[in-house]
Amino acid sequence: MDLRLVSSSLYTLPSASRVDAIVYDGAADLRPWRGLGSDRDLAEHYGPGLESALQQELQRMGAEALPMGSVVRVHAGRLHCDFLAWVVTRPPERNSVREPAPGAELLAEAVMQALRFSSERDVSRIAFPALGEGPQALDPAERFEIIWRTALKYEEECYAAGRSTVIEEVFLCEPDVAVRRALERRIPRLQRLPVAAAPSESLTSATATRSSSRSSSPRKSSTASKSARSVKRPASLTPEEKRQGMARAKHYSLQQTYSVGEWVSHPRFGLGRVEAVVMPGSMEVLFEDGNLRKMAFGR
């Protein structure tokens, strides 16, 4: 699963980065806040009918309000996705009084529930804003870090259970350069990873997990990246190499450390051989399907 820091809002993703689901958090009664803020931005980009669509889902579930952490699938309206995943992070907001923003623990639980909910619906690409806006909100970079760490936890949970993540790419969408830089300071690994070109937008790989084979080639700005590209790699593993690898492969784990030439067994990608250690905590693995994937380790 790849996580990517995207230098655009949820609503201006380039066509090459269209997602299956957009995650948004709000009140338990599924009513957008009518004042200024992110709820109004969502309503403007969604188009007429957001509140009606939300209330239809609430009525279908036979409730006046949903429990914290609940996730509801809502029609996408004019959003560039298949559906909107509304996750509950605050009580109903009545009498023109905003409820406090969710704390770190509730926010992490909301992200986890959104990922589980989306994977059950065969979502392969999912986008998050900095969830958790409102009074007493955490710093946006901190909220993005919570999403990032929860996504890694979700991936580890799937691996431990022996099942696929289903979700292949998670986009963290933030147009404000100051917030992106603050996040890069919180997670230094982000500063070193390559930038993939996208029409009219910059898409930065934002994870110590695997980079998708669909990504563009990295820029020649990093010594580590240059050395990784200079390694001559076979197009695929030969039958004999696969036989040898199966006898020596370790089960892939985010906590394990690996070196060049070691074999891993991944629950989704199968047998693979470590071809290069790109930087501390990040390696390139050639899998039996012929794809070279960037993967995290030693966390």
Question: Looking at the structure, do residues 41 and 116 belong to the same domain, yes or no?
Answer: yes
Residue 282 lies in a domain: yes
Q: Going by DSSP bridges, is the β-strand pair 250-251/169-173 parallel, antiparallel, or unpaired?
A: unpaired
Question: Looking at the structure, do residues 186 and 48 belong to the same domain, yes or no?
Answer: yes
Question: Looking at the structure, do residues 103 and 192 belong to the same domain, yes or no?
Answer: yes
Domain holding 105: CATH number? 3.40.220.10
End-to-end Cα separation, the chain, in angstroms: 15
Angle 19-11-75 from CA coordinates, rounded to 5°: 65
Residue 288 lies in a domain: yes
In the chain, what's the furthest Cα-to-Cα distance?
A: 70
Identify the domain boundary among 172, 205, 238: 205
- Determine the Cα–Cα distance for residues 24 and 171; give it in Å rounded to an integer: 13
pTM of the model: 0.65
Task: Find the range with the poorest average confidence among 46-50, 127-131, 188-192.
Answer: 188-192
Region 80-90 average pLDDT: 94
Question: Looking at the structure, do residues 150 and 13 belong to the same domain, yes or no?
Answer: yes
Range among 55-59, 185-189, 286-290 rated most confident:
55-59
pLDDT class for 188, splitting at 50, 70, 90? low
Question: Looking at the structure, do residues 57 and 194 belong to the same domain, yes or no?
Answer: yes
Question: Looking at the structure, do residues 86 and 150 belong to the same domain, yes or no?
Answer: yes
Tally the domains of the chain.
2
Residue 210 lies in a domain: no
Residue 217 lies in a domain: no
Quick: pLDDT tens for 240-260.
888 888 888 888 888 788 889
Q: What is the DSSP string of 235-286?
A: SS--HHHHHHHHHHPEEP-TT----TT-EEEETTTEEEEEEEEEETTEEEEE
Residue 105 lies in a domain: yes
The continuous run of DSSP H or E covering 294 comes out as strand 292-296
277-287 burial, b for 16+ CB within 10 Å, e for fewer?
bbbeebbbbbb
Range of the domain at 20: 2-205
Q: Given a cut of 90, is residue 187 above it in pLDDT?
A: no
Residue 212 lies in a domain: no
